[in-house]
Structure 1
């Protein structure tokens, strides 16, 4: 504890310098308020996140400080980010120090509750002497509404209760599921993002099951991203899918119901339906047998292929390239069209996990590295940060990238008669 208080003193020193020493602590010099940000200006339901904004304004210079939080017996809670200290100007022109902390609370069940006072223990300079002052917030009435709809709700086992401001789903496959055949495997990665909640509240991995396929469930990863507008929860689900029959297998959509905390209504999003096997959509030309070329055409094609092979061997023109899969390119373009940087960032994360070699090439390019940094500032930085040109970025990331080929001279054929001399 002494080390922590010393660290607080060091961090607060720049804020304390401009404040003049006051003769004595007067009423109103030290104030602490706690405000509950209710979604849709309505009483929350059980397990719905509510942000408590804790704000202190202190005219007196502060030497040490400690926040004592109430027990919050009927709530789960988590602090979002670190405490923030800043200088502020009061309406009368005086300088003061502002303290801000954000705590997310989740009521356990319906009922009438009270958020008991928070206490900020401050060591101040009072007429040249150190003095400990306890600044207390006022208690807050906190009603939690019961769920009255006939189905769903926070206490139902099915479907999963998902209260959020917005929910987005990104679905990517590698390779494209329509292209795989019996015995081959495709990896499916689904990313679920929910604004206004933490990752622990996201649902478990959905069940993906249908006749004719074998699925191997991979790990589930969860993370909470802190943004100026509140937390964003992200979960990534993964499966390896293998068809067990030769015919086309339809994979049904998976519905994800969620409660819109802004409009106070139930909504639904879905993991989209896909087709496994069967190649491109059926067309008459796909099923028609290929035409038999004439002997002259066959001979000409063979000669051209032979000449091209000699050229590639002699001049080293065959350089390999890397490119994002078709589903990821389409997903990037679709996310770019929405103009939503957070959604584009989620799709890009899934694409980067699939193609780490491409990521190394992208990050080595100053232009793309600057675009990535601008995207992160728009998603995770201060409110109002400029959004990069998402369609242009999607086009840049969709292009094939050349990779270094064999060193000059190492891929040539050895002389037929061995080395000379």
Structure 2
């Protein structure tokens, strides 16, 4: 009887020799904020009646369990085991050596009519974490998308009419608290009311997905039109290991029927007269060319040809933005310039915009971008 009691006591303090628990972590060199997938795998003999495992918290990382625990019977090297798997996503907070674990699984096994407590421990695993290559809050993800939605056309508002703007930021392979702070939308000509933000981490088969939803009620309190510059969300793409950026389009806000909007801006009478003169001159040139070649274009084609000869109304703002040295302002002005070019029926080389985006989100030292060459290549 004494021997049996000593044996039971020994089993409660030492793990069964045939039981094993380990942390399965892929070989990787993550950056700060990047998801590290961890699988905790246990292989146990006998009948497990109760179990408890607590994944250790640490000031070095955030973590979330990404799926329900899995228990299956599985043969390993010819021996039947009761296999346990738990999937966890770990997000390092700092650069340096990251240690995950140890992890202990507290089991209760049935041995006939007896219950035996067994503790099985997984040894810790370390990984080297590199600094986040960008600035600000570290956001590393497989993919980031941004949706910009409006309850009404902001450029065609009625007098005293408000509209709702909703921005949804989605980062695959991240957690909600790692997303950037709510953007600020504030202009002297705009009344803005912000609704409470929504942040949540959704668990999917591919891992956690971070979602942030920001909503504003906006109303211009003057009759003039205005523009909201694009919002920039830098992030590290874990697939290609480079910084990228999600950017919203510029938003033109104005009262329907106020002024003569061309490309979303109000123009003075002098500007309108100059454009009308240019339109007439372009029509005369096209007509003369058509007469010389002995064929007159169809009215629709004639209008399209005339429009292609008109100056871009956004060119001046683009050149002004280039002189300021603010690349984010230059990106917003370039977007408006490209949209105006498309409305005028002209094609635009997309490469300069891609080069500007790469400069914005590459994390390189500012001041190296050739703005004069950018204006030349984009046609301004």
Shared fold (TM-score, shorter chain, > 0.5) = yes
- Match in the other structure for 1:59: 45
Question: For each residue in 1:143-177, what CA deviation from the matched residue of structure 2 results, as whole angstroms up to 9, or x when unmatched?
Answer: 22234x5xx34xxxxx4321111111111111221
Q: Is the 8 A contact 2:92 2:98 kept in 1?
A: no
What residue ranges of structure 1 are gaps of 5+ in the alignment? 1-24, 154-158, 284-421
Does the C-alpha gap of structure 1 residues 146 and 171 become closer, same or farther in structure 2, counting only changes over 3 Å? closer
RMSD: 2.8
Does the C-alpha gap of structure 1 residues 65 and 254 become closer, same or farther in structure 2, counting only changes over 3 Å? same
* Match of residue 102, structure 1, among 78, 87, 100: 87
Q: Is the 8 A contact 1:76 1:105 kept in 2?
A: yes
Counterpart of 1:200 in 2: which secondary structure?
helix
Question: For each residue in 1:293-347, what CA deviation from the matched residue of structure 2 results, as whole angstroms up to 9, or x when unmatched?
Answer: xxxxxxxxxxxxxxxxxxxxxxxxxxxxxxxxxxxxxxxxxxxxxxxxxxxxxxx
* Match of residue 130, structure 1, among 115, 126, 148: 115
User: How far apart in 2 are the matches of 1:62 and 1:120?
Assistant: 12
Q: Is the 8 A contact 2:159 2:255 kept in 1?
A: no
What displacement does 1:218 show? Answer: 1.3
User: How far apart in 1 are the matches of 2:192 and 2:217?
Assistant: 6
* Match of residue 111, structure 1, among 96, 118, 126: 96
Q: Is the 8 A contact 2:72 2:83 kept in 1?
A: yes
User: How far apart in 1 are the matches of 2:73 and 2:212?
Assistant: 38
User: How far apart in 1 are the matches of 2:191 and 2:253?
Assistant: 12
- Match in the other structure for 1:197: 174
Counterpart of 2:25 in 1: which secondary structure?
strand
Q: Is the 8 A contact 1:182 1:242 kept in 2?
A: no
- Match in the other structure for 1:409: none
Question: For each residue in 1:115-146, what CA deviation from the matched residue of structure 2 results, as whole angstroms up to 9, or x when unmatched?
Answer: 23211122223466432222111221222223
What displacement does 1:74 show? Answer: 2.4
What displacement does 1:58 show? Answer: 2.1
User: How far apart in 2 are the matches of 1:36 and 1:27?
Assistant: 23
Q: Is the 8 A contact 1:76 1:107 kept in 2?
A: yes
Does the C-alpha gap of structure 1 residues 136 and 165 become closer, same or farther in structure 2, counting only changes over 3 Å? same
What displacement does 1:179 show? Answer: 1.9
User: How far apart in 2 are the matches of 1:263 and 1:54?
Assistant: 27
- Match in the other structure for 1:83: 69
Pairs within 5 Å for 1:8-407: 27-28=17-18, 30-37=19-26, 42-92=28-78, 94-126=79-111, 129-147=114-132, 152-153=134-135, 159-277=136-254, 279=256, 282=262
User: How far apart in 2 are the matches of 1:73 and 1:187?
Assistant: 39
User: How far apart in 1 are the matches of 2:128 and 2:63?
Assistant: 16
Q: TM-score, normalised by structure 1?
A: 0.53
User: How far apart in 1 are the matches of 2:151 and 2:99?
Assistant: 51
Q: TM-score, normalised by structure 2?
A: 0.59
Q: Is the 8 A contact 1:182 1:243 kept in 2?
A: no
Q: Is the 8 A contact 1:181 1:243 kept in 2?
A: no
What displacement does 1:211 show? Answer: 4.8
What displacement does 1:90 show? Answer: 3.4
What displacement does 1:62 show? Answer: 0.7
Number of aligned residue pairs: give it.
248
